[in-house]
Amino acid sequence: MTDVLLCVGNSMMGDDGAGPLLAEMCAAQPKGNWVVIDGGSAPENDIVAIRELRPQRLLIVDATDMGLNPGEIRIIDPDDIAEMFMMTTHNMPLNYLVDQLKEDVGEVIFLGIQPDIVGFYYPMTQPIKDAVNTVYQRLEGWQGNGGFAALEAPEPKKDNEWRISGKDRAGNSWVVPVGRLINLAGNAQFYRADLDRNGIQDLVIWLGNPGLGLAPSAQYIIFTFLNNGRPCVFEPWGFYTATDTGVDDLLDLQGNGRTQLLDMQFDSGYWITNLYQVKDARWQRVHGWFGRLSYPALTRFNHYPGRKLIIKPIAGRNPQTDDLSLTQRCLIRGNVLPGVNQD
């Protein structure tokens, strides 16, 4: 019987390094019979490896904002992840990863550690270090939920919940809940465009997250529509920026009107740029060459003495990507897609 421990997080972002710290402790002195995978800030990259192991149990450990005191630990129902949490530093929400693995894993256990400070170059706080050690000590002989309490899902506040609804071309109704579209970072922004050139206007919702450090994360909720008018929903998280004139991360890199999403994450001294493209209303990650670059693309993260950061790569230092920021953007600021209702 194989048990897999997937440690998630970014060691460069303060308390978000809880998962990587646990992986380091297990590498130095293993506990139990866990196969330990350090998923970093892009755990979806390990989906294939986990599938090949076909574990009986998959324990995912991540720093998760649950609204608790720093260092508190809870077991979270994987089905509640998307509904309950609006802050993350990872490429994809973890419910996406869980959905991809359900058929290959006997049991998925999600363990959240409440962070205090998450931001680039912040040190990890002591309550989170203590919490990681607590989890580490319980790995050997782990039974059930490891003795940790389950997180109680709060009752949704109906007046703050949004739904996007409409009808397909056959006249059948559809409804997609999208949660709260306002937080301390402000209101959501709405954009529209035909992202995959199928003749149907698509909807993009951008929602910033209040965060600390160099680059607060943001969420996209992207509605692309099949030819029959049914929606496909894609919910990436990352360091995305939006303005009154468009969204910097949704670009037309080939000049043919089709959209690509540039997703940048920071790990191991590099900005790691992943590319996603949409075809037939479904988003797929690009592996290998696309245009002038091979993805994922790396940009060295430089700093002067005294840790003054330089985001733009310095000429002559490789690897580095081209400057894609001036490429034609695909989105215009607009009203909600005609025929789609906000509830």
Q: What is the rounded average pLDDT of the residues 287-301? A: 78
Alpha carbon distances (Å) from 150 to 42, 46, 52, 68, 219? 25, 26, 29, 13, 26
Q: Are residues 211 and 314 in the same domain?
A: yes
- Half-sphere CA count of 84, side-chain side, radius 13 A: 18
Give the count of beta carbons closer than 10 Å to the beta carbon of residue 9. 30
State yes or no: pLDDT of 97 exceeds 80: no
Sign of CA dihedral 266, 271, 277, 278: positive
Lowest mean pLDDT, pick from 2-6, 57-61, 204-208: 204-208
* Single pTM value for the model: 0.55
Q: What is the rounded average pLDDT of the residues 295-309? A: 56
Q: Are residues 164 and 92 in the same domain?
A: no
For 83-98, the DSSP string reads HH-----SSS-HHHHH
144 domain-assigned? no
Asked if residue 109 lies in contact with residue 75, where contact means CB atoms within 8 angstroms, the answer is yes
Q: Are residues 121 and 170 in the same domain?
A: no
How confident is the model at residue 93, as a pLDDT?
A: 59
146 domain-assigned? no
Range of the domain at 91: 3-138
Residue 284 and residue 294: Cα distance in Å, rounded? 15
Number of domains in the chain: 2
Residue 294 and residue 57: Cα distance in Å, rounded? 35
143 domain-assigned? no
Q: Check residue 179 and give left, alpha or beta (phi > 0: left; psi -120 to 50: alpha).
A: left
Quick one: pLDDT band at residue 92, thresholds 50, 70, 90? low
Q: Which residues does residue 290 pair with via DSSP β-bridges, in sequence order?
A: 293
Q: Are residues 36 and 164 in the same domain?
A: no
